[in-house]
Structure 1
Amino acid sequence: MQDVQSFVCGRWVGPGAGARPIASAVTGAVIAQAGNDALDVAGMLDFARSRGGAALRAMTFHQRAKMLKALAQHLNAHKDALYQASFDTGATARDHLFDVDGGIGTLFVYASKGRRELPDAHVLRDGPAEQLGKTGTFLGQHVYTPKRGVAVHINAFNFPVWGMLEKLAPCLLAGVPSVVKPATATCYVTELCVRLMIDSGHLPDGALQLVTGGLGDTLDLLDCQDSVTFTGSEATALKLRTDPGLIRRGVSFTAEQDSLNATILGPDVAPGSAEFDLFVKEVLREMTVKAGQKCTAIRRIIVPQPQVQAVLQAVSAGLAKVTVGDPRREDVRMGALVSAEQRADVLAKAAAIGAEAERVFAGPAAPLGDGVENGAFVAPMLFLCADPDAARAVHETEAFGPVATILPCRDAGHAIALANRGRGSLVASVVTRDPAFARDVVLGAGAWHGRLYFNNADSAAEATGHGAPMPHMVHGGPGRAGGGEELGGIRAVRHFMQRSAVQGSPDLLSAIGEAWQPGGTPVPVPAHPFTRRFGALHLGETLQTPAREITLADIEHFAEFTGDTFYAHMDEDAAARNPFFPGRVAHGYLLLSFAAGLFVEPNEGPVLANTGLDNLRFMKPVVPGDSIAVTLTVKQKTPRNDAYGEVRWHVRLANQDDETVAEYELLTMVAC
């Protein structure tokens, strides 16, 4: 029997007083024990805050992103061990792809987003600076900094790897240490994953700790710098959400709860079409992957009345092919529920649904395999609710297993109303080719669903599936689903940080945000900036060019050469009638071209490529006889790899009266 350990204060601690037995979902035999009531909880939190937090905050976003990538690569190289450990949870080889590979993939996504969307800095700026005075010498800037506490992640049993990594990735990227508390039933898989990460050597001490078993009085020791994230039942979430201590001390709490997700067959979809087959395929997958133990699984199948029998027959035919049994067997498609307790709960709730709906399909009673007679197996069950308006259980009772109910609908409005009867869900999916119906669903059901997933034959090849939360998009939902928004790209990173309004001079805000602010003191350049390598450039270094006169001949030549003969450039009277121009004016792109001619160093050097420009604005027209000069300033530097980095330059074009006529940010790749 395995002793599942906790990792606290930098050391592994085995089970002790209060340890609980853990049974194999496949055989029912006890295979492990976990839990220790004597853990040093106060020491664990102090270790996280003082050691882990300090080490993470000393790293930039890019350094933390590199750490996530290294962790993902290490887990990817050892994922077979996680596969083997996961079989006893009842998961099949196909299920491992969702849990193990999905979790590793989430680390990779956040590593990539951290490098591409966050600065190589310690502070995250939130939007542009606000000018708070007339002259620009006093600015305001919203910034995010890491909270100084610890994030406690309380996870569900169904995804012992992905459930941890989906929260851990944005938390570590934010610079906040974590304490992970997995569900006891599958904590032996989480323990192996944590052990692999700790052994990799990529995590600073205290950045990650693990509690297998009870948390003790951990929640009583948290304060407003700490966070609690929870995935599990609505009942447990309610207890945590209303905990007087968490409320009084202002501890951040988010929940991702059970959810009666729906799928809707569009009224435009007919049997025999590609969309009809796609709809049936999605239903079958969501009912059987992880034996239906997914917070995003389809529980309610909303179908136009004329298509009910066709859907019923197609789904039943597909379920009849599903083999249930020992997940290690190659001929088994669906494994067991996680425990005998979970099996009893699913059967009880299926009985409640059966009181108001007819069971139209039930799978084989006996699972395949040797020694599995005491396993937590439940065959797929499909119900048909003839009167979904009068029903309650199908909209309120979630059987967290391979159980789903077909709900007939009269029209589009009825379908939307039925979907909303779930009182809030993580996801609703719609299979349709009708843009108007898709728009109606968003307007009618968007307020009740965290994600709306549309699919048809056009998108099917790349679609990720109804039940697959992607780290790029928010994962959460309103109402019954808990109100949280886990994942969601950089949005999830910000959740573990504090947003502050910082006010001060441009020079101070430039130093705080590690990006030059317009109005800041220019720094003279020792040589043309395009002759200097990435590491030699400093924020605020400024090049001031000579002026160049814009002539009428320049404007006419540019118009003839490019074909841009817009009247404002070519017709004096027509341009004068335009409320924006005093007469003929220079092309905006002519000004950009002349600006480049003024500041570019033409010889071969460290500048490798111009990759674009952002935030281009034309503020004042330029007429023949005006002149322009350019101020080029190093605004921000972002390393990309060992060979080159991205330099963001602030470019200001001013006329002979020092009035800004255009402004933009130029992006170049500069050799290291």
Structure 2
Amino acid sequence: MAIATVDPATGRTLATFPPLDAQGVEERLRRAAEAFEQYRTSPFDHRAQLLRRAADRLTADREKVAATMVTEMGKPLVQARAEVDKCAKSMHWFADHAAGLLADQIPDAADVADSGAAGVRVRFRPLGPVLAVMPWNFPLWQVIRAAAPALMAGDVLLLKHASNVPRTALYLQELFAHAGYEAGCFQTLLIASGQVAEVIRDDRVAAVTLTGSEGAGQSVATVAGEQLKKCVLELGGSDPFLVLPSADVAKAAQVAVRARVQNNGQSCIAAKRFIVHEAVFAEFERAFVEGMRALRVGNPMDEHTDVGPLATEQGRDELEEQVEDARGKGARVLCGGRRPEGLAEGLGEGWFYEPTVLTDIDPAMRVHHEECFGPVATLYRAADLAEAVAIANDTPYGLSSNAWTRDPGEQGVLARDLQAGGVYFNGMTASHPAFPFGGIKRSGYGRELDGLGIREFTNPTTLWYGPEDS
């Protein structure tokens, strides 16, 4: 795939960028290694000051950055602005909390005495340059949620961003440079996917984090494993959205629409499979379909647009094939199911797809076991709680989940039995810097955000002091 900005709303190529050659990559790896040797010993106050400056600069650049994201991957402008705000907020959060999250841990005094030591502490030391391989769907947030904790931990970052968001990738490098970071602390590598393995194998790269597809995760994990390097993966998701009889069904249906079509439906943690108890199925189906049908599809730069184009032509075509496969195998299309007609002039060549609801899903259909990365929802009927859980877990993925019930007993069962990295009751899954984020099964491993995330790329070092040190 060429490194280029292609407007998904029109299909027009706006800019192309040559990939770095071997010498260019080597120069950036050298800078990263040199920068780490200086930056790793910097005090938390200094790191926090730099990160706050970057956050404030990002806020000042809000309109420019939001417009760049819209033209590179098609998300609605209002959502792009919200992404900028979330990034700035999270940068301030890590600047405020990193010192506490990474404070030395003191073991129990009895265990220290039993070891024969005068004192023991565990210190979280930085690892080194971290390669971040990031996707296009949240081109700012995916990077910041890796970069902010890594930089506060004393690591430095090398960014290999998706090939269709090069302007966002270059802006991020500029952002951290303007905040006062040394040139090697955050660098964007404009390289092709085929060059990633070589970078991972370089001895100067200490670890790698990837957010992306299952296939990309397998490729990166294979190379990282061969090199015995730490790897964190946040991959695909096909999150369930369960609605049980005690739920506020009207509110659940309203949130379900937003949960499915956020970011034009291109979110790993978007709800995708809607599993509804038969007692409230008809009520939910009616409200959900009406809400999906009412969404406005169009120019993502229009503040009244709810759903913009898919980010790539390949992604739109793949989604279309999944829907046609389901239709051909007996699924009912309750709304959508086609490319929209009658869009404004100039948008006819864009990669749009109507918000779609499918029901009567059969396990033989692709939509049952594949992730639908676009505004397509699958609707299931469940006879009881046990069947709802069984349907929810019948997926190779386990990123997050949503469950609508006001019954404490049902909440306890779901908290115990849903196979996912998160269970959100009576609300929509959303990441927050204070809570760990990640999945299980084919959704990856490791965690981002919170204390678990910031410690992923540190060296937890046991410091043992003998009796003569007392």
Question: Under TM normalisation by the shorter chain, which class is it?
Answer: over 0.9
1:112 aligns to what? 96
Q: Give CA deviations for 1:295-347 in whole Å, capped at 9, x if unaligned.
A: 11111000011322222211111122211111122332211111212211221
Task: Note the C-alpha offset of 1:206.
Answer: 0.8
CA distance in structure 2 between the partners assigned to 1:367 and 1:248 by the alignment = 52
Contact 1:476 / 1:484 at 8 angstroms: preserved in 2? yes
Q: Give CA deviations for 1:454-506 in whole Å, capped at 9, x if unaligned.
A: 12xxxxxxxxx52321111121110011123122x122111111112221137
Task: Note the C-alpha offset of 1:150.
Answer: 1.0
Which stretch of structure 1 is more off in the superposition, 91-100 or 401-410? 91-100
The partner residue of 2:369 within 389, 396, 403 is 396
2:32 aligns to what? 48
User: Is residue 63 of structure 2 the alignment partner of residue 80 of structure 1?
Assistant: yes
Task: Note the C-alpha offset of 1:235.
Answer: 1.5
Cα separation, partners in 2 of 1:157 and 1:127, compared to 1, 3 Å: farther
Task: Note the C-alpha offset of 1:248.
Answer: 3.1
CA distance in structure 1 between the partners assigned to 2:108 and 2:82 by the alignment = 39
Task: Note the C-alpha offset of 1:170.
Answer: 0.8
The aligned amino acid for 2:445 is G
Find the residue that maps to 2:280 and give its secondary structure: helix
CA distance in structure 1 between the partners assigned to 2:335 and 2:276 by the alignment = 17
Matches within 5 A, 1:226-305: 226-243=206-223, 246-269=224-247, 275-305=248-278
The RMSD of aligned alpha carbons is: 2.3
User: Is residue 470 of structure 2 the alignment partner of residue 503 of structure 1?
Assistant: no
Cα separation, partners in 2 of 1:130 and 1:367, compared to 1, 3 Å: farther
CA distance in structure 2 between the partners assigned to 1:189 and 1:135 by the alignment = 52
Q: Give CA deviations for 1:135-181 in whole Å, capped at 9, x if unaligned.
A: 9753333222111x310000111011001101001110110000011
Where do 4+ consecutive residues of structure 1 move more than 4 Å?
A: 115-119, 126-137
The partner residue of 2:166 within 164, 168, 187 is 187
User: Is residue 150 of structure 2 the alignment partner of residue 171 of structure 1?
Assistant: yes
Contact 1:353 / 1:397 at 8 angstroms: preserved in 2? no
Which stretch of structure 1 is more off in the superposition, 84-93 or 469-478? 84-93
Cα separation, partners in 2 of 1:353 and 1:35, compared to 1, 3 Å: farther
CA distance in structure 2 between the partners assigned to 1:365 and 1:311 by the alignment = 25
Unmatched runs of 5 consecutive residues or more in structure 1: 1-17, 270-274, 456-464, 509-519, 521-672
Cα separation, partners in 2 of 1:153 and 1:367, compared to 1, 3 Å: farther
The partner residue of 1:207 within 174, 178, 185 is 185
Contact 2:336 / 2:355 at 8 angstroms: preserved in 1? yes
The partner residue of 1:468 within 430, 439, 449 is 430
User: Is residue 441 of structure 2 the alignment partner of residue 479 of structure 1?
Assistant: yes
> What is the total number of aligned residue pairs between the two structures?
464
Contact 1:143 / 1:500 at 8 angstroms: preserved in 2? yes
Task: Note the C-alpha offset of 1:131.
Answer: 4.6
CA distance in structure 2 between the partners assigned to 1:212 and 1:356 by the alignment = 45
The partner residue of 2:421 within 444, 450, 453 is 450
Contact 2:334 / 2:359 at 8 angstroms: preserved in 1? yes
More helix by share: 2
Task: Note the C-alpha offset of 1:115.
Answer: 4.9
User: Is residue 330 of structure 2 the alignment partner of residue 368 of structure 1?
Assistant: no
Cα separation, partners in 2 of 1:436 and 1:507, compared to 1, 3 Å: farther
Contact 2:276 / 2:381 at 8 angstroms: preserved in 1? yes
Cα separation, partners in 2 of 1:63 and 1:47, compared to 1, 3 Å: same
The aligned amino acid for 1:372 is L
CA distance in structure 1 between the partners assigned to 2:137 and 2:114 by the alignment = 57
The aligned amino acid for 1:66 is Q
Contact 1:144 / 1:494 at 8 angstroms: preserved in 2? yes
Find the residue that maps to 2:431 and give its secondary structure: coil
CA distance in structure 1 between the partners assigned to 2:359 and 2:206 by the alignment = 46
CA distance in structure 1 between the partners assigned to 2:409 and 2:342 by the alignment = 45
Matches within 5 A, 1:497-646: 497-505=458-466, 520=470
Task: Note the C-alpha offset of 1:284.
Answer: 0.6
TM-score for both structures, normalised by structure 1: 0.65
Find the residue that maps to 2:255 and give its secondary structure: helix
Find the residue that maps to 1:500 and give its secondary structure: strand
User: Is residue 308 of structure 2 the alignment partner of residue 335 of structure 1?
Assistant: yes
Contact 2:98 / 2:149 at 8 angstroms: preserved in 1? no
Cα separation, partners in 2 of 1:31 and 1:433, compared to 1, 3 Å: same
Contact 1:431 / 1:454 at 8 angstroms: preserved in 2? yes
Unmatched runs of 5 consecutive residues or more in structure 2: none
Task: Note the C-alpha offset of 1:369.
Answer: 2.5
TM-score for both structures, normalised by structure 2: 0.92
Percent identity over paired residues: 23
Cα separation, partners in 2 of 1:145 and 1:257, compared to 1, 3 Å: same
CA distance in structure 1 between the partners assigned to 2:404 and 2:272 by the alignment = 16
Higher relative contact order (CA 8 A, sep 6+): 2
The aligned amino acid for 2:48 is A
1:32 aligns to what? 15
CA distance in structure 1 between the partners assigned to 2:28 and 2:198 by the alignment = 9
Cα separation, partners in 2 of 1:220 and 1:163, compared to 1, 3 Å: closer
CA distance in structure 1 between the partners assigned to 2:125 and 2:467 by the alignment = 19
Cα separation, partners in 2 of 1:400 and 1:134, compared to 1, 3 Å: closer
Task: Note the C-alpha offset of 1:128.
Answer: 4.9
Task: Note the C-alpha offset of 1:77.
Answer: 1.3
CA distance in structure 2 between the partners assigned to 1:439 and 1:507 by the alignment = 52
The aligned amino acid for 2:417 is G
Contact 1:183 / 1:213 at 8 angstroms: preserved in 2? no
